[in-house]
């Protein structure tokens, strides 16, 4: 009111901004972004691939309410969607690339679910007799559904792409990351394992091997199983300790050999290699977790289980522990 009265009296008010309306300083205006390792990209950034022939631009995730027609959506999980824009940068008609992203969430890199729904058509089959095609300079947009458990809102979602053509996989690997909507992004979302000493030849479940960084944990009984067998599951987690994305890493092609009891009776051989679950590359400074399954004869003395991890026939680590309740 004092300023208004002074103005009416012919005296111009002093040029000062009200205390509650001051402009923030430049340092205050900048949003703090979680730094990514060199070679990774925030969701929303575009990446040129295929020797400049294509540009891939995945959007950030936005929360959605699924309909009764949703397919591939686990019960109780949170749902979101994202768009992928694939732009043909060449001067000729191009067959659409098959991006087939590997999607993981959280610090442990557990697999997220990819689903379809009304308005969320998913990724078309680009490796077919009549694939989608894109004109020169044109763009193809597709919508993908991504789901995570209910308590994973705000956790980072890491997406790996390795385009495919009729002639097989290409060498262009790209890593993207952004938070799952529904909560504030988690501050401590990167795994920092503390490896056990190299003198430990056999590691306990939950301990980490130093090189390569990996652990086996959460070995538990799943159910009675069929016939005279009882079913069990466990988790193999492998971390890529590289600091840049120059050398993509494919640890999920490792094989597992499972033994039980003090006599180390063989329970299962779980092969890796092409076709194994979740074989996508792991981003630098990130981890990936694969759930494995095996069965034992009912009544078997399975108080302890031993899991040997091999790669191309070479033993890399051995873990043992008790079966969790």
Over the stretch 146-155, which tens digit does the pLDDT of each residue have? 999 999 999 9
Q: Taking the C-alpha atoms of 224, 227, 229 and 235 in order, what is their torsion angle to the nearest 10 degrees?
A: -60
Q: Maximum CA pair distance of the chain? A: 100
Cα(139)–Cα(46) distance, rounded to whole angstroms?
13
33-86 residue pLDDT tens: 558 999 999 999 999 988 899 999 999 999 999 999 999 999 999 999 999 999
- pLDDT for position 90: 95
For residue 297, is pLDDT > 60? yes
Cα(303)–Cα(252) distance, rounded to whole angstroms?
27
Q: Half-sphere exposure (CA, 13 Å, Cβ side) for 60?
A: 11
Of 170-184, 205-219, 274-288, where does the model show the most confidence? 205-219
- pLDDT for position 23: 45
Contact by Cβ (8 Å): 105, 158: yes
Q: How confident is the model at residue 172 (pLDDT cuts 50, 70, 90)?
A: confident
- pLDDT for position 158: 96
Contact by Cβ (8 Å): 191, 108: yes
What global pTM score does this model have?
A: 0.83
Find the mean pLDDT for residues 247-275. Answer: 81
Q: Which ranges of the chain does DSSP label H, i.e. alpha helix?
A: 2-8, 26-29
Weakest mean pLDDT among 99-103, 196-200, 222-226, 297-301: 222-226
- pLDDT for position 98: 86
- pLDDT for position 178: 96
For residue 91, is pLDDT > 60? yes
For 1, 3, 11, the CA distances from 8, given in Å and listed in that order, are 11, 9, 7
What is the residue whose two structure tokens read 């929360």?
63
Weakest mean pLDDT among 143-152, 264-273, 277-286: 277-286
For residue 17, is pLDDT > 70? no
Burial readout 225-251 (b: 16 or more C-beta within 10 A, e: otherwise): eeeeebebebbbbbbbbbeebeebbbb
Find the mean pLDDT for residues 203-216. Answer: 95
Q: How confident is the model at residue 300 (pLDDT cuts 50, 70, 90)?
A: confident
- Neighbouring CB atoms inside 10 A of 187's CB total 9
177 pairs with which residues across the strands?
42, 158
Chain centroid offset of residue 153 CA: 14
Cα(199)–Cα(38) distance, rounded to whole angstroms?
33
- pLDDT for position 168: 61
Q: What percent of the chain has pLDDT over 70?
A: 82
For residue 103, is pLDDT > 70? yes
Find the mean pLDDT for residues 100-117. Answer: 94
- pLDDT for position 239: 93
- pLDDT for position 279: 63
Q: How confident is the model at residue 238 (pLDDT cuts 50, 70, 90)?
A: very high
Q: Which residue has the higher pLDDT, 9 or 145?
A: 145
- pLDDT for position 24: 45
What is the residue whose two structure tokens read 């067959």?
95
**Residue 296, token pair as written in the block:** 């034992």
- pLDDT for position 88: 96
């Amino acid at each position: 009111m004092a300023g208004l009265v002074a103005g009416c009296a012919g005296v111009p008010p002093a040029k000062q901004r009200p205390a509650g309306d001051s402009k923030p300083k430049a340092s205050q205006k900048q949003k703090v972004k979680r730094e990514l390792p060199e070679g990774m990209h925030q969701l929303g950034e575009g990446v040129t691939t295929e020797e400049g022939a294509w540009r891939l631009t995945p959007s950030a995730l936005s929360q959605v309410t699924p309909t009764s027609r949703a397919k591939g959506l686990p019960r109780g999980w949170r749902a979101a969607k994202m768009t992928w824009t694939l732009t043909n940068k060449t001067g000729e008609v191009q067959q659409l690339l098959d991006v087939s992203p590997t999607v993981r969430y959280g610090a442990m890199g557990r697999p997220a679910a990819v689903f379809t729904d009304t308005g969320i058509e998913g990724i078309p089959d680009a490796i077919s007799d009549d694939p989608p095609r894109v004109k020169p300079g044109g763009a193809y947009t597709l919508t993908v559904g991504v789901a995570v458990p209910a308590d994973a809102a705000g956790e980072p979602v890491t997406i790996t792409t390795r385009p495919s053509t009729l002639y097989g996989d290409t060498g262009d690997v790209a890593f993207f990351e952004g938070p799952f909507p529904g909560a504030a992004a988690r501050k401590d979302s990167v795994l920092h394992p503390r490896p056990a000493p190299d003198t430990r030849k056999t590691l306990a479940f939950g301990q980490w091997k130093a090189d390569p960084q990996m652990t086996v944990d959460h070995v538990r009984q799943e159910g009675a199983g069929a016939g005279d067998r009882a079913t069990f599951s466990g988790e193999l987690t492998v971390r890529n300790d590289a600091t840049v994305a120059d050398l993509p890493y494919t640890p999920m092609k490792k094989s597992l050999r499972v033994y039980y009891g003090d006599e180390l009776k063989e329970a299962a051989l779980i092969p890796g290699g092409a076709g194994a679950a979740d074989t996508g590359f792991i981003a630098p400074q990130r981890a990936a977790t694969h759930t494995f399954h095996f069965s034992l004869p009912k009544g078997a003395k399975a108080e302890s289980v031993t899991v040997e991890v091999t790669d191309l026939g070479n033993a890399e680590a051995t873990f043992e522990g008790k079966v969790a309740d």
